[in-house]
Structure 1
Amino acid sequence: MSAANIENVSTTADKAKLVLVVALVVAALAGFYTLSAQGAIIQWLTLVGGLVAAVVVFLLSLPGRQLVAFGNDAWREVNKVVWPTRKESTQMTLYVFAFVVIMALFLWLTDKTLEWVFYDLILGWKK
């Protein structure tokens, strides 16, 4: 990657939008807790409305547009992946289980062999 591909553009308007996003989230939370006497419906409408407004403002800012573009690129890449079939997945799972069982037996046999060599043959400690 070259340095020419890196964009670092941050305008005053985008900074103001991000400050507005934070203010909307704080206002939505404050409204939710201060409007407890008005009833649950008003509380939740205030919270959801403030959060939706914050998301809309964020998506209109440069970082929001970049996030959406990143999501679209990621989704495009996921669609390029060749996923294994059910049969291939089952076969690979069985291979892994078989390998784990064989490895467990090998380690158990190695442990018992070393135990026999050290305790019985070398040290003479009979059980």
Structure 2
Amino acid sequence: MAFFTVFPLILRGSTPETTITVSVKNQYDKPVENAAVILDFLGSHQIMKLGKRKPIHWEVHTNLQGIAHFPPVPQGTVQLQVVTTRYQTYGEKFDLDSEQKNIDIKLNPPQKQYSAHPPLKPADAPKQ
């Protein structure tokens, strides 16, 4: 009987969490303000999660110094995306295994667009 009273307490034990701080800068090491920083929790390192997984999704914006703070999230794998105008979208997965994680991101300007198809032939003049 003691097993059934202690076992749920073991399962409900506190899961380790990580506080994430993201610093977003441009190619000239200047802070990028008001960039959308999106965090999705993908999975944990827990062996006994018993199929219970809450979807965790956060979206915050960087401040004037290019810094975004997230509340504590469970340790495991997260996907981080940074989206803003005038820069390429950034995305990467990170493994969280400590109490604090500082992530430095450098955004690049957009690349020139190329087409895999040959240019179209000039169209006939429109009929009036």
- Is TM (by shorter chain) over 0.5? no
Looking at CA atoms only, which structure, 1 or 2, has the larger radius of gyration? 1
Structure that is richer in helix per residue: 1
Bigger RCO of structures 1 and 2 (CA < 8 A, at least 6 apart): 2
Structure that is richer in strand per residue: 2
TM-score band, normalised by the shorter chain? Answer: under 0.3
TM-score of the pair, normalised by structure 1: 0.22
